[in-house]
Amino acid sequence: MTKGYLALVLHAHLPYVRHPEHEDHLEERWLFEAMTETYIPLLRIFDGFLKDGVGFKVTMSLTPPLANMLGDEFLQHRYLRHLDSLIELSGREIDRTTRETPEFKPLAEMYREIFISTRQFYWDRYGGNLLQAFRDIQATDNLEIITCAATHGFLPLMQHQPAAIRGQIETAAIDYERVFGRDPKGIWLPECGYFEGLDDYLAEAGLRYFLVDSHGINFAEPRPMAGVYAPIFCPSGVAAFARDVESSKQVWSSEEGYPGDVDYREFYRDVGFDLPLEYVGKYIHRDGIRVNTGMKYFRITQKSDLHRREIYNRRNALEKAAQHAANFMFNREKQVEWIEGGIGRKPIIVAPYDAELFGHWWFEGPDWINYLVRKVAYDQGVFELTTPRHYLEQYPEQQVAVPAASSWGDKGYYEVWLNGSNDWIYPHLHKAADRMMELADLPSRKDPLVERAVKQAMRELLLAQSSDWAFIMTTKTAVEYAVQRTYAHLERFNTLYSQIKAGAIDVAFLSDVEAKDNIFPVIDPDVFSAG
Span 115-135, pLDDT tens digits: 999 999 999 999 999 999 999
What is residue 531's predicted lDDT score, i.e. its pLDDT? 63
| HSE-CB of 293 using CA atoms within 13 angstroms | 31
Which residues does residue 400 pair with via DSSP β-bridges, in sequence order?
Answer: 233
Distance CA 232, CA 398 (A): 6
Q: In a 3-state reduction of DSSP, which class is residue 186?
A: strand
In sequence order, the 6+-apart residues with CB closer than 8 A to the CB of 331 are 246, 247, 250
pLDDT interval class at 530 (50, 70, 90): confident
pLDDT in tens, 403-452: 999 999 999 999 999 999 999 999 999 999 999 999 999 999 999 999 99
Distance CA 280, CA 378 (A): 45
What is residue 284's predicted lDDT score, i.e. its pLDDT? 87
DSSP H helical ranges for 146-258: 162-180, 198-204, 214-218, 245-252
pLDDT in tens, 333-387: 999 999 988 888 899 999 999 999 999 999 999 999 999 999 999 999 999 999 9
Are the CB atoms for 35 and 130 separated by under 8 Å? yes
Label residues 121-152 b or e (16+ Cβ within 10 Å = b): bbbeebebbbbebbbebbeeebbbbbbbbbbb
Burial class (CB within 10 angstroms; exposed 0-12, middle 13-18, buried 19+) of 186: buried
Are the CB atoms for 87 and 33 separated by under 8 Å? no
Are the CB atoms for 386 and 349 separated by under 8 Å? no
Which residues does residue 384 pair with via DSSP β-bridges, in sequence order?
Answer: 5
pLDDT interval class at 326 (50, 70, 90): very high
Q: In a 3-state reduction of DSSP, which class is residue 335?
A: helix
Label residues 3-15 b or e (16+ Cβ within 10 Å = b): bbbbbbbbbbbbb
Which residues does residue 526 pair with via DSSP β-bridges, in sequence order?
Answer: none
DSSP 508: H
By DSSP bridging, strand 143-148 and strand 383-385 are: unpaired
pLDDT in tens, 270-317: 999 999 999 998 898 777 789 999 999 999 976 556 566 799 999 999
What is residue 249's predicted lDDT score, i.e. its pLDDT? 85
By DSSP bridging, strand 239-242 and strand 232-233 are: antiparallel
CA-wise closest residue to 70 among 131, 19, 145: 131
In sequence order, the 6+-apart residues with CB closer than 8 A to the CB of 121 are 40, 43, 44
Distance CA 281, CA 463 (A): 32
Distance CA 293, CA 233 (A): 46
Provide the whole-model pTM. 0.96
Cα-atom radius of gyration of the chain, to the nearest Å? Answer: 24
- Evaluated on CA atoms 376, 382, 384, 387, the torsion sign reads negative
Return the percent helix, strand and coil in the chain, to nearest 5: 55, 10, 35
Distance CA 363, CA 251 (A): 13
Which positions are annotated as active-site residues? 191, 354
Host H or E run for residue 8: strand 4-12
Are the CB atoms for 27 and 370 separated by under 8 Å? no
Beta strands in 99-229 (DSSP E): 143-148, 186-188, 209-212
Distance CA 190, CA 151 (A): 9
Q: What is the residue extent of each domain of the chain?
A: 4-69+131-265+313-411, 419-528
| HSE-CB of 88 using CA atoms within 13 angstroms | 12
pLDDT in tens, 445-478: 999 999 999 999 999 999 999 999 999 999 999 9
The distance of Cα 271 from the centroid of its chain, to the nearest Å, equals: 26
| HSE-CB of 339 using CA atoms within 13 angstroms | 26
Q: How far is CA 377 from CA 65, 100, 390, 520, in A?
A: 34, 45, 17, 39
Distance CA 226, CA 120 (A): 47
Say whether the peptide bond before residue 222 is cis (omega within 30 degrees of 0): yes
How many residues in total does the chain contain? 531
pLDDT in tens, 176-202: 999 999 999 999 999 999 999 999 999
Q: Give me the chain's average pLDDT, please.
A: 95
The distance of Cα 214 from the centroid of its chain, to the nearest Å, equals: 20
pLDDT interval class at 65 (50, 70, 90): very high
∠ CA 290-295-297, rounded to 5°: 110
Q: Is 419-528 a CATH 3.60.150.10 domain?
A: no
CA-wise closest residue to 206 among 191, 188, 187, 219: 187
DSSP H helical ranges for 395-447: 425-440
Residue 137 has pLDDT above 80, yes or no: yes
The CATH class, in words, for 4-69+131-265+313-411 is alpha beta
